[in-house]
Amino acid sequence: MPENRIDATFAKLAATGGKALMPYVTAGYPNLDVTAELLAQIPSAGASVIELGIPYSDPIADGPVIQESFTRALARGLRIQEVFETVRKVRDKTDAPILSMVSFSIVYRIGVAAYITQAADAGFDGLILPDLSLEEAPAIAERTADAGLRLVMLVAPTSSTDRFEQIARISQGFVYYIAVAGTTGERDRLPSDLPDNVRRLRKIGGKPVCVGFGISRPEHVRDVCRVADGAIVGSAIVRRITAAVDNGASDEVIVRQITDFVGDLATGLT
């Protein structure tokens, strides 16, 4: 089985002292053509890993900006098989790792084995299941590993010590640390306990730790990457897509604006 792209990316970054920028894109928003172009183009702007959100009618951890993108994508009749096909089509254009952030309800409805197989065949490299219970996680992690994928788990600053440690050990590829309690969204500043919690997670799990929720500017990326292995940016990107759509921008303009914004965020890595 070939090396997982997530593992390969973080190994390469570790060898060079680099850090990862991980943009989040909502699949099918504003349409699948834009999704495909973003997946193909933003790696050249500085994206190391891409998190592709699968729209769901009852999102768990997403704030209003991403919820709105889900609503609009679903209103257009987006189907999960179309997302798989879109990733499959762009795989010859980029080697950047792509993660599927998806509700476990969707995975369960399709069937755990079927979803994992289809995701791997499409060219995904891992899954983030924000509503997966800790009790079910080890079995899912075993299935993803068998398929050559990685199960990335989220851990919050409010997690109990036991949960904190279990997630650090179970998570594959990297650990997704939620910088602030609550839903996704942009914040003005990052919490003071972030450095200690990131170091603790890395020490327990022995894996890279990436930080998301509230990161929206190059200086945020810079601050996070002083202690973490990567920064995840979601709402700030989706908000710009929505603004462009509402202003009547063409698909080409939307792709260019978001690619440029990812490039701006990437300046925080240097």
So which residues are the catalytic ones? Answer: 51, 62
Any idea what the Cα angle at residue 213 is, between residues 85 and 219, rounded to 5°? 110
Alpha helices, DSSP H only, in the chain?
A: 5-16, 32-45, 64-75, 80-90, 104-110, 112-122, 137-146, 161-170, 194-205, 218-225, 235-246, 251-266
Q: Reduce the DSSP state of residue 125 to 3 states and report it.
A: coil
Any idea what the Cα angle at residue 67 is, between residues 104 and 227, rounded to 5°? 75
The CA–CA distances, whole Å, from 252 to 23, 139, 263 equal 19, 42, 17
CB 235 within 8 A of CB 185: yes
Name the nearest CA neighbour of 89 among 147, 127, 33: 33
Cα 20 from chain centroid (whole Å): 12
The CA–CA distances, whole Å, from 42 to 35, 50, 124, 155, 242 equal 11, 9, 16, 27, 18
